[in-house]
Every structure is written in C-alpha cells, then in structure tokens.
Amino acid sequence: MNYLAQAPSLSDFGHDPWWLILGKIVFAFLVALLGTLLGVWFERRVVGFMQVRPGPNQLGPFGLLQTLADGLKMAFKEDILPRSSDKVIYFFAPAISVICAVTALSVIPFGPMVSIFGHQTPLQVTDVPVAVLVVLALSSMAVYGIVLAGWASGSTYPLLGGLRSSAQLISYEVALGLSIVAVFMLAGTMSTSEIVAAQGNGIELNVFGFNIDGPGWYALLLFPSFVVFFISIVGETNRPPFDLPEAESELVAGFMTEYSSLKFALIMLSEYVAMVTMSAFTVTLFLGGWYAPWPISAWSGANSGWWPLLWFFAKVIALVFVFVWLRGTLPRLRYDQLMRLGWKVLIPVSLVWIVFLASWLKVQNWERNDRLVLFGVVGGVLLIASLFWPSRKPQPKPTLAEQVDNRPQGSFPLPPLDLQVPPSPRTRRMVAEREPANAPAGQDSEEV
C-alpha cells in the first residue's frame, strides 16, 4: 500500500528564487514567535483547567492578549546588570539559546510540494542529507546559552543552575541520540523530508507468517525508541518534571536568577521555542510528519495541497499539550533520580533495543525455516535460564531491638526503648493538690 503524495526529496531543494526562500524563513520565524505567545497562554489555560482555576481570562477573548501584555511589561521593566557579571557574555547568553532553537525549525518539513505564485516548492526552508544531525547539533549548542548565563551572572545560584543544566543535557543527549538510531536503521536516511516520506510510503513486515501492510508511523513500529526519545526531549528542554536547572525551591530561579527585563523574556522565549521545535521534531521522526492520521488518510486529497499543514500543526499542538500535562500532574524529580533515569534506564534500554532491532532486521532476510530454528533456539535458552535462574529469598526485616544492637559504633545514641517521660512540674503540683489531707505520711502520690 502506498500513502505517498507529493513528498519532496533532496533534489527538490535549492531551486527556489530568493524571495521565496526569504518568505519561508519568515514563516519559520513566525511559527516560533507565535508558538511562544500561544504556548504560554495555552499552558496557563490548560494548567488552570487541571487545577480548577480560570487562568488568564481578562485581556482579550479567553485571555488571548495576556501573553502580549506580559511581554510589554517585561520590555518596560528595569534592566538590572549585576556588578560582578561578565557583561559581554551576560548580554549574549540568552540570544544563543533562542537562535539555536529557532534555527532548528529550518530543516523541519511542514508540508508536501505546493504551488506558491506558480513555483513548485516544498513547505520546508531547506534539507540536507544529515538534517537530523543538524537538529541534534543545535540542541546541543543551546546548552551553552544556559551554562554561560549561569556563569556570567557572577552569583552562586545561577552558577549551580548552569552546572546542573550542563550535566542534565549531556546525560539526556546520549539517550536522545541512541533513540534516533532505530529511525535511521528503518528509514535508511538522515534527511527529515525523506524520513517523513518513508513513513508515508507505508511498511511491509512479515511477523510470524503474518504480513503487515499499512502507514508506517515509527511511533508504532519503534515504540521503545519513541518513549525514550520523548522522555529525553523533556529533559533536553528543562521542562517539568525535569526542570532542575531552574528549581525555585532550591535555586531561586536557577541560571536566570540575575536576569530581568528583555533578557529574561529571551530566556523564556528560548524555552517555549525549544518545546515547539522538539514537538515538531518528534512529529517528523515518529508521527508521520505532515501525513494525515487515520481515518482522515482514507480521503484521497488529505495529503495534497495545503491540508497537510493542518495535520502537522494539529500533531504539534497535541504534543505541546502532553508537555503541559506533565507540568500539571508530576512533581519535580530529585537530582539523583534525574541522573539515574538517564544513565541507568534510558541509555541501557536504548542499547538493548538497537541490538534487538538490528537482529530482527537481519532475521527478516533469512528463509522461513532458518527463522523458526532461531526462534526455537532463543526460546529454549530463555526457558532454561528461567528454570535455573537463582532465586533470592527475601530477607526477614530485623526487629527494632536488632536494629538498635546492629547500629554502627559512634552513631547518634538512641534513647532506651522503655523510656518513660516524667510528668511536668505543673502536673505534679495538680496531683499534689488533689491528694487527701489525711494521706499517710510517706505514701507515694498517684503515678501520672
């Protein structure tokens, strides 16, 4: 089955006139800017609905102008420059993150080949054979903006937030790269437009003698990679529950503590642009890009003309909703839990999944009898291993007396287990007043 309809290839790029290229660049920039303005409003409204409160609802219909008012307020606030800061780096650090996040949209395919004033052109600024690596490189460069912002502020809290961010992004960058390897193996290319075309072409697999033929969204075919990838991009964008670099409960505001006015607005802009960019990147790699979802795909004209632009942004909005949903429901992780999840869970899972997928793709080329023999051998080995796997009996929980006896030497002294709290002087005085006057001398009063 072929779902391909006017999908561009690498040969379709580089032939547009200068004004058309400039128009597509402006369109990508407007997507980033409007995505930020509407993303802030969308997040506040959705979180308000989840927490049973209205959210912004005064400025404009449904509060749509609230974000614009906040931007104007930031522009007219006093721009404070810390005395101990590195003024040049302090000034340029927020711009680095914004530029990297916006530039990544240049290789994201928004739609198929369309006609604009008589010119057939793809709805994409440009594409290269290693476009996915371009996005990864730009997301890696964005960490410099955060680290330099924390270091150049000349303060303790921003420096700690910058160090946290560098360790966090490096950790999750590894898992992010490994999760995309499975996409390369199945699509056979690193071009974003060709990866979308590969998903639109459909997939034909033979699983235990059953032929699978349908639209090949990699979120379904490579579900472990999709889960690892999405968790990694949440960590990459410093979004809750992974917002440790700006943890207000510990670091005031993290790396942006000393920023104000428009520089603070640029940092907020970079976070929301990165969220929109990574959502679009996820749609491109795993959710079929601009191809219509089922059952809309049954319509013959769903994947032609300007309709795919609608399907693409609908998927992006759905992923942005998931980002907001996470913020409204999950508590922030501890830093040790954050690092343990990245290094001890996501990376090993990605490595095991890549090995399994490579073996599966190799087995697909074998004869049917050879595959049956392989499955039989693997199944037998797993059965024998499960039978003879050493089982560990749960150790009984020590009693309180054993815990007291086994405590290490030099530890904090524990009070005796039969300690009785003596009555207060007021209680003793009240008991003495209630005693009869003719009580025998030397008789003890009533115990309290």
The arithmetic mean of pLDDT across residues 242-252, rounded, is 70
| pLDDT at residue 34 is higher than 70 | yes
Between 26 and 265, whose confidence is greater?
Answer: 26
Q: How far apart are CA 48 and CA 61, in angstroms?
A: 16
| pLDDT at residue 305 is higher than 70 | yes
**pLDDT tens-digit map of 62-104:** 888 888 888 888 878 877 777 777 778 888 888 888 888 889 9
DSSP 8-state secondary structure symbol assigned to residue 346: I
Between 447 and 256, whose confidence is greater?
Answer: 256
The pLDDT value given to residue 2: 41
Weakest mean pLDDT among 25-34, 63-72, 204-213, 422-431:
204-213
| pLDDT at residue 446 is higher than 60 | no
The pLDDT value given to residue 59: 83
Contact 281, 375 (CB under 8 A): no
Amino acid sitting at position 129: P
The pLDDT value given to residue 386: 64
The pLDDT value given to residue 280: 93
Weakest mean pLDDT among 9-23, 101-115, 411-425:
411-425
Weakest mean pLDDT among 5-9, 156-160, 415-419:
415-419
Q: Which of 3, 347, 342, 355 is nearest to 185 (CA)?
A: 355
The pLDDT value given to residue 3: 44
The arithmetic mean of pLDDT across residues 409-415, rounded, is 59
The arithmetic mean of pLDDT across residues 443-448, rounded, is 46
The pLDDT value given to residue 281: 93
| pLDDT at residue 183 is higher than 60 | yes
Weakest mean pLDDT among 21-25, 65-69, 306-310, 398-402:
398-402
CA dist 79 → 91, 213, 259, 261, 301 (Å): 11, 59, 8, 5, 52
The pLDDT value given to residue 279: 92
Q: How far apart are CA 278 and CA 276, in angstroms?
A: 6
| pLDDT at residue 389 is higher than 70 | no
Between 27 and 416, whose confidence is greater?
Answer: 27
CA atoms within 13 A on the CB side of 407: 12
Q: How many CB atoms lie within 10 A of CB 250?
A: 14
The pLDDT value given to residue 313: 92
Average pLDDT, rounded, for the chain: 79
pTM (2 d.p.)? 0.77
Q: How far apart are the first and last CA of the chain?
A: 87
Amino acid sitting at position 173: E
Q: How many CB atoms lie within 10 A of CB 177?
A: 17
